[in-house]
């Protein structure tokens, strides 16, 4: 068989026809609906038509893709991962929209919610008619969620919620916010309708990363909620951390999408850009860069595929998710930076995707667990010693 530069290890042979069909459908949607506009959205720092995009993604089955029932597609973990890869190959902000909707907000309700909560929220969220967000990080609390200050107190049969959440994707366009708060019983999750009195979600501006994404603060000032707003299925940090594991899995694939787009841009440029009388791809230093980028890109995809198979088999551990998130995001950033050097000065132009992906990945490196947190997760697993405190 011939060598295929876009699939040098023959990874496509590991995928079933239905896997490839889902991947190609999402790739085609992104090429049609995102790529022609994304540079302009990024430059202007906005994501216009987000509600329409959400409905289209819902029609594709991409929202809550790996969940069962309630209008969700019930796809495999590998199929969901392939969709994340294709979405992030367009832009990290688009993949974040899908991840927060499906792997955080929808997953929390699906996993921990009551049947009434599931029926109320999930069908509309799966269709993209309702957008959700996930409130865990706070202005002064990031990697240590146990120290959150948001608090919910019982008042008769109601709950009264006060606090702030920060860096919340989809916040100002959401119909429901899954908010985690301290209570006298421990940390609990709440499905908060965003039209509740005392709830507001001002949008965060002036970002240099994830510019084509809606990012907000959540402010809760004596938000009164009925008793049935609390997610009954979990108490404690295992609730939000379980959701984060689901979302981190999508990032393992998604980061490789950003890396692939940057690598392909560099490869195409190296074949056509001439210096000293021939394409720069004909020089040894450029070929060495391309070879190293291809190695890390496809090793990362293989890692994502392996972890996806483990998730489908029900054997994927949180430490393995940390392994994938730590490696793939770190290597994706390095691929983007190397691609930028091949493009030279053109690498900083929005005519090419490389710098956009590189700056987006700086956020991806931090959210859903920083590099240091995932190193400590693996360090604890390897040594049996806890270095977090």
Q: Would you please indicate which residues are annotated as catalytic (active-site) residues?
A: 368
Q: Give the number of other CB atoms < 10 A from CB of residue 31.
A: 13
140 contacts 150 by C-beta, under 8 angstroms: no
Tokens at residue 294, please? 């291809």
Alpha carbon of 88 to those of 94, 118, 152, 258, 372: distances in Å?
7, 28, 36, 5, 23
Which residue blocks in the chain are alpha helix, DSSP H? 17-33, 38-44, 50-60, 77-90, 92-99, 107-112, 115-126, 238-272, 284-313, 318-343, 354-366, 371-383
**Closest among 367, 375, 365 to 322, alpha carbons compared:** 375
Q: Quote the distance between the C-alpha of residue 284 and its chain's center.
A: 36
333 contacts 260 by C-beta, under 8 angstroms: no
**Positive or negative, the Cα torsion across 249, 250, 252, 253?**
positive
Three-state DSSP class for 327? Answer: helix
Burial class (CB in 10 A: 0-12, 13-18, 19+), 38: buried
């Amino acid at each position: 068989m011939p060598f295929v530069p876009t699939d040098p290890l023959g990874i496509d042979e590991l995928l079933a026809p239905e896997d490839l069909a889902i991947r190609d459908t999402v790739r085609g949607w992104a090429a049609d609906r995102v790529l022609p506009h994304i540079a302009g959205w990024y430059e202007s720092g906005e994501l216009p038509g987000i509600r329409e995009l959400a409905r289209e993604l819902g029609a594709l089955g991409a929202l809550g893709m790996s969940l069962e029932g309630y209008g969700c597609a019930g796809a495999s973990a590998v199929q969901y991962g392939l969709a994340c890869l294709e979405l992030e190959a367009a832009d990290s902000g688009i993949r974040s929209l899908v991840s927060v909707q499906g792997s955080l907000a929808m997953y929390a309700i699906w996993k921990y919610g009551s049947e009434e909560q599931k029926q109320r929220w999930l069908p509309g969220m799966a269709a993209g008619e309702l957008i959700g967000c996930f409130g865990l990080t706070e202005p002064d609390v990031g990697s240590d969620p146990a120290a959150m200050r948001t608090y919910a107190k019982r008042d008769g049969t109601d709950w009264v919620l006060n606090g702030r959440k920060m860096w919340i994707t989809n916040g100002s366009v959401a119909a429901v916010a899954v908010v985690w708060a301290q209570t006298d019983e421990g940390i609990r999750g709440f499905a908060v309708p965003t039209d509740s009195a005392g709830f507001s979600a001002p949008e965060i501006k002036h970002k240099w990363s994830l510019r084509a994404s809606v990012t907000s603060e959540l402010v809760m000032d004596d938000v009164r909620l009925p008793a049935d707003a609390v997610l009954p299925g979990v108490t404690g940090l295992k609730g939000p951390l379980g959701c984060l594991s689901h979302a981190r899995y999508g990032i393992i694939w998604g980061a490789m999408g950003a890396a692939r787009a940057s690598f392909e841009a560099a490869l195409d440029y190296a074949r056509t850009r001439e210096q000293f009388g021939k394409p720069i791809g004909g020089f040894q230093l450029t070929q060495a860069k391309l070879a190293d980028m291809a190695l890390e890109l496809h090793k990362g995809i293989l890692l994502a595929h392996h972890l996806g198979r483990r998730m489908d088999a029900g054997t994927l551990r949180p430490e393995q998710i940390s392994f994938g998130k730590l490696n793939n995001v770190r290597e994706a950033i390095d691929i983007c930076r190397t691609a930028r050097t091949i493009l030279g000065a053109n690498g900083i132009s929005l005519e090419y995707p490389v710098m956009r992906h590189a700056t987006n990945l700086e956020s991806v490196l931090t959210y859903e667990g920083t590099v240091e947190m995932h190193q400590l997760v693996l360090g604890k697993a390897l040594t049996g010693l806890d270095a977090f405190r």
